[in-house]
Amino acid sequence: MFGNFYNHRRVLITGHSGFKGSWLSIWLSELGAEVHGFSLENTQPFSLYQTIPKSVWKSETFGDVASSECLSECIEQSDPEVVFHLAAQSLVRQSYLDPLETFRVNVLGTATVLNNFRKKKTPTTIVVATSDKCYENLGWEFGYRENDVLGGVDPYSASKAAAEIVVGSWRRAFFEPGAGFCQIATARAGNVIGGGDYSADRLIPDCVRSQISNTPLLVRNPQSVRPWQHVLDCLSGYIWLGACLAQGKSKVISAGAFNFGPPPESHRTVAGLLKCWYESWPGTWKHQEAVSSGKEAKFLTLSIERARELLNWSPTWTFEQAIHETAFWYRSRHVDRYPDVAGLCVDQIKRFMEESKKRNASWSTTQTISRE
């Protein structure tokens, strides 16, 4: 898998205690990587992170990603060859409540990570996760491309657009191809779903909470369209991008940014997602007019043509598979009381990799990576 690139590689994940970071930690550990984590402590009820055996990580450091001293100590000790920067304030509605903290973490935190490697000057591959919401949303029905205008009305979206600008600045000013010590790219994902997400104001976690409590789900914007994808499809893009960057794939290095989203048929309304969800796990929902908490985009989709062309990457699971696997995970934990929660993740990773092999996904082979 992934050209066997990650076996015995030192990998640092910022935000390793979060939803994506937990899944990424498990997967990279399964690939044989030496995984190091840097994050705030996660005390969230039902946190996936708290169910993962500590043996998954070679080391863990807990601290503020915007604190240069704390982060630099972690980097010095772990000496990573590959970095996945996921640490962020990731909630739109929270960004309205605390916009300055959102910008501090998402913008200054990203700059702090990159500046540590500017000073370190050793060969390192860095994948910075931003968001599909970094684009200036004009209500287009076609997918946004990596060269479309960045922007954002809400503070979260604007902070992710600003983080993209920060990465672009560091790349051109300090990490220019040929400098010999850092390869860097950003990854922009769609609306990611999967077992283990318990964040506030996200659709699937809200579904799960309503079903556990046997109450109807209250839905603010049932006709909003989003690019839904399973967390493993998203992370397969991140992991493959890291491998291609590190092994000098020239067109990937020069591209700078990649969208990782689902195919167009997975661009569904909230109501469409709920219909599929309740077929896997019966429940009910009703429309509730939202009390205004800021502007939310009604339509947002991504173009993944650059990832197809330059990485030969495409998503593996269909929309229906992503919903079924996510519902299965939550039902196994909360209804069937499955005792090994992290084991559920490992089982799904194995099923996902087997499906990817059947589909001849580029990263699912042990072939070497072309430098072209």
Mean pLDDT calculated for residue range 153-177: 93
Collect contacts of 331-339 with beta carbons under 8 A, ≥24 apart.
331/280, 331/281, 333/46, 333/195, 334/208, 334/212
- The pLDDT tens digits for 217-243 are 999 889 988 889 999 999 999 999 999
pLDDT higher than 60, residue 366: no
Give me the amino acid identity at 76: E
Beta-strand pair 10-14/57-62: unpaired
Is residue 221 left, alpha or beta, with left meaning phi > 0 and alpha meaning psi from -120 to 50? beta
Mean pLDDT calculated for residue range 199-203: 89
- The pLDDT tens digits for 49-91 are 999 999 999 999 999 999 889 999 999 999 999 999 999 999 9
Residue 372: per-residue pLDDT: 52
Mean pLDDT calculated for residue range 287-298: 66
Residue 180: per-residue pLDDT: 63
Q: Give the CA distances from residue 30 to residues 136, 180, 333, 339, 363, in Å, rounded to whole numbers and listed in that order.
A: 37, 29, 21, 20, 15
Among the four given CATH numbers 3.40.50.2000, 3.50.90.10, 3.40.50.720, 3.30.1360.120, the one describing domain 2-192+231-261+295-318+340-364: 3.40.50.720
Residue 130: per-residue pLDDT: 97
pTM of the model: 0.94
- The pLDDT tens digits for 335-362 are 999 999 999 999 999 999 999 999 999 8
Residue 200: per-residue pLDDT: 87
Residue 44: per-residue pLDDT: 84
Mean pLDDT calculated for residue range 270-276: 95
Task: State the residue for tokens 């200054």.
Answer: 108
pLDDT higher than 60, residue 260: yes
Write out the two tokens for 170. 């560091």
CA dihedral sign of residues 330, 336, 337, 343: negative
- Work out the pLDDT band at 371, boundaries 50, 70, 90: very low
Name the residue ranges covered by the structural domains of the chain: 2-192+231-261+295-318+340-364
